[in-house]
């Protein structure tokens, strides 16, 4: 009996050892389960783009402030979820079956942990409280309601408390008419201690303070409202006094076009120092999102030109984890890399190095047709890379040839 018992024990220990071995599957690699994919990846598919067999897809953002540190807040690009609260599978809180569209598929807490740093929340008066609601004509109904807004705000507070160097921005589509309604829920969620005061917000296109200063002052929550009256009544910043924004919905995803939203100043205006780029269709379809999100590079380039050579500080999308590979995470990395240090992706930036001195790349002044490998991902295309500054990565200006660099996005292929 001893030999079979020993063999069984060995088998069990080998099985446990196999479970503990870290997986190294990269973006685009075939997979059969989550375990086949490396850190920051999940196993999925993109049938809408013809990729029906499971492969590793990215689901985790690189925070640019961990690599190129201490720059002004408006130098970075951040990921935003459109209708962050409108979560597929979220149970009804009203006792009535919900009839509405859905835009995301995981909790706000998970969104933040995966690198989302901006939340779009629609707030309404409902049930003698302020609720998150995906509704119409400024009226929340029991079949379009999701839940009290304070519950989601408490998720934000828990994240900011756990991550003392992170900054979160909330954009409120504001239908709240109850007196001091928003102030009450932010106070109830214990978020006022992180509040970025409106008195310190840059106006007339002036630059923002550094992320280091914002963290030092604990001004780590930016809140914008679509209701201009809330500036005077509750001290909440009116969104279009501080941000430029392109059209949302279908008009914002027309190839080669990037019109400004009617409430916003023209995108090439210098009246505001932040730029929010919307990139999502009017009617969200979960299974189509992987294909839609993979078209983001072209729209980033179109909006960059329309905004007078200005990067999007915020990119808002539906179903943010859905893509045919690197998705919105890869696009964000490329924007931050090009803008902050002149590298094709943020992960190759080197703190304190001259602009264009990138890890694992050729000479910074080289212009060539090349394929380069980064963390298992292969990118191919024509790269035109020129530098005009000898400053460090921490104070590198955005180069005039940024449009040419962004053209690399058009030829992005994940092999």
Output the pTM of the full model: 0.84
Does 396 score more than 60 pLDDT? Answer: no
**Whole-Å CA distances, 308 to 193, 305, 405:** 36, 5, 15
Does 133 score more than 50 pLDDT? Answer: yes
Query: In sequence order, what E strands does 161-220 have?
Result: 168-175
Mean pLDDT of 212-225: 98
Q: Quick: pLDDT tens for 262-294.
A: 999 999 999 999 999 999 999 999 999 999 999
Does 377 score more than 70 pLDDT? Answer: no
Within-domain flag for 131: yes
The total of structural domains in the chain comes to 3
Residue 357's pLDDT band (boundaries 50, 70, 90)? confident
Highest mean pLDDT among 326-335, 342-351, 397-406: 326-335
In this prediction, residue 355 carries a pLDDT of 85
CATH, residue 328: 3.20.20.190
Assess whether 45 and 130 both reside in one domain: no
Within-domain flag for 333: yes
Does 302 score more than 50 pLDDT? Answer: yes
List % helix, strand, coil for the chain (3-state, nearest 5): 30, 20, 45
Residue 360's pLDDT band (boundaries 50, 70, 90)? confident
Assess whether 394 and 296 both reside in one domain: no
Within-domain flag for 274: yes
Render 16-77 in DSSP notation, one character per residue: HHHHHSPP-B-TT-B-SSGGGB-TTEEEEEEGGGTEEEEEEEE--PPPGGGTS-S-BGGGS-
Q: Is residue 354 a contact partner of residue 389, using CB atoms and an 8 Å limit?
A: yes
Assess whether 245 and 205 both reside in one domain: yes
**Cα distance between residue 223 and residue 182, in whole Å:** 11
**Whole-Å CA distances, 278 to 300, 325, 376:** 10, 21, 30
Within-domain flag for 19: no
Within-domain flag for 258: yes
In this prediction, residue 266 carries a pLDDT of 97
Assess whether 288 and 356 both reside in one domain: no
58, 79, 109 - which closes a domain: 58
Q: Quick: pLDDT tens for 79-96.
A: 999 999 999 999 999 999
Residue 352's pLDDT band (boundaries 50, 70, 90)? confident
Assess whether 311 and 370 both reside in one domain: no
Assess whether 97 and 227 both reside in one domain: yes
212 three-state secondary structure: helix
Residue 400's pLDDT band (boundaries 50, 70, 90)? very low
In this prediction, residue 135 carries a pLDDT of 94
Within-domain flag for 16: no
Share of the chain above pLDDT 90, in %: 77
In this prediction, residue 215 carries a pLDDT of 98
312, 340, 368 - which closes a domain: 340
Does 403 score more than 90 pLDDT? Answer: no
Residue 13's pLDDT band (boundaries 50, 70, 90)? low
**Cα distance between residue 306 and residue 304, in whole Å:** 6
CA 365: distance to chain centroid? 31
**Cα distance between residue 300 and residue 278, in whole Å:** 10
Range of the domain at 201: 64-340
Assess whether 53 and 112 both reside in one domain: no
58, 76, 103 - which closes a domain: 58
Within-domain flag for 349: yes
Within-domain flag for 392: yes
Assess whether 147 and 229 both reside in one domain: yes
Assess whether 238 and 355 both reside in one domain: no
Assess whether 197 and 121 both reside in one domain: yes
Three-class SS of 76-95: CCEEEECCCCCECCCCCCCC
Does 100 score more than 70 pLDDT? Answer: yes
> For 51, what's the count of Cα atoms within 13 Å in the CB-facing half-sphere?
23
Which class for 131: exposed (0-12), middle (13-18), buried (19 or more C-beta within 10 A)? buried
Assess whether 33 and 135 both reside in one domain: no
CA-based Rg of the chain, rounded to a whole angstrom?
Answer: 23
> For 203, what's the count of Cα atoms within 13 Å in the CB-facing half-sphere?
7
Assess whether 327 and 361 both reside in one domain: no
């Amino acid at each position: 009996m001893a030999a079979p018992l020993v063999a069984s024990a060995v088998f069990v220990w080998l099985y446990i050892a196999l479970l503990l071995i870290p997986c190294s599957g990269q973006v685009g690699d075939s997979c059969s389960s989550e375990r086949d994919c490396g850190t920051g990846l999940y196993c999925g598919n993109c049938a809408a783009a013809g990729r029906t067999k499971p492969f590793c897809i990215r689901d985790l953002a690189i925070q640019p402030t961990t690599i190129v540190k201490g720059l002004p807040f408006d130098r970075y690009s951040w990921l935003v979820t459109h209708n962050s609260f409108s979560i597929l599978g979220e149970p009804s809180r009203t006792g009535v079956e919900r009839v509405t569209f859905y835009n995301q598929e995981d909790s706000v807490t998970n969104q933040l942990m995966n690198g989302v740093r901006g939340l779009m929340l629609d707030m309404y008066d409902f049930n003698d409280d302020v609720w998150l609601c995906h509704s119409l004509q400024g009226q929340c109904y029991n079949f379009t309601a999701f839940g009290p807004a304070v519950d989601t705000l408490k998720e934000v507070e828990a994240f900011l408390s756990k991550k003392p160097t992170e900054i979160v921005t909330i954009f409120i589509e504001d239908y709240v008419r109850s007196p001091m309604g928003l102030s009450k829920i932010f106070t109830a969620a214990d978020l006022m201690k992180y509040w970025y005061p409106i008195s310190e917000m840059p106006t007339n296109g002036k630059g923002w303070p550094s992320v280091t200063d914002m963290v030092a002052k604990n001004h780590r929550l930016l809140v914008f409202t679509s209701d201009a009256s809330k500036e005077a009544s509750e001290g909440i910043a009116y969104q279009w006094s501080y941000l430029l924004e392109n059209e949302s919905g279908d008009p914002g995803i027309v190839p080669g076009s990037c019109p400004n939203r009617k409430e916003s100043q023209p995108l090439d205006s210098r009246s505001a120092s932040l730029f929010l780029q919307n990139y999502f269709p009017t009617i969200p379809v979960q299974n189509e999102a992987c294909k839609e999100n993979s078209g983001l590079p072209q729209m980033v380039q179109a909006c960059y030109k329309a905004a007078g050579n200005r990067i999007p500080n915020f990119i808002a999308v539906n179903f943010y984890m859905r893509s045919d590979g690197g998705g919105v995470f890869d696009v964000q990395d490329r924007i931050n890399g090009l803008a902050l240090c002149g590298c094709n992706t943020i992960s190759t930036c080197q703190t304190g190095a001259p602009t264009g001195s990138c890890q694992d790349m050729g000479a910074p002044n080289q212009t060539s047709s090349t394929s380069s490998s980064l963390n298992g991902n292969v990118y191919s295309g024509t790269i035109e890379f020129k530098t005009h500054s000898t400053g460090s990565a921490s104070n590198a200006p955005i180069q005039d040839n940024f449009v040419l660099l962004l053209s690399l996005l058009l030829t992005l292929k994940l092999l």
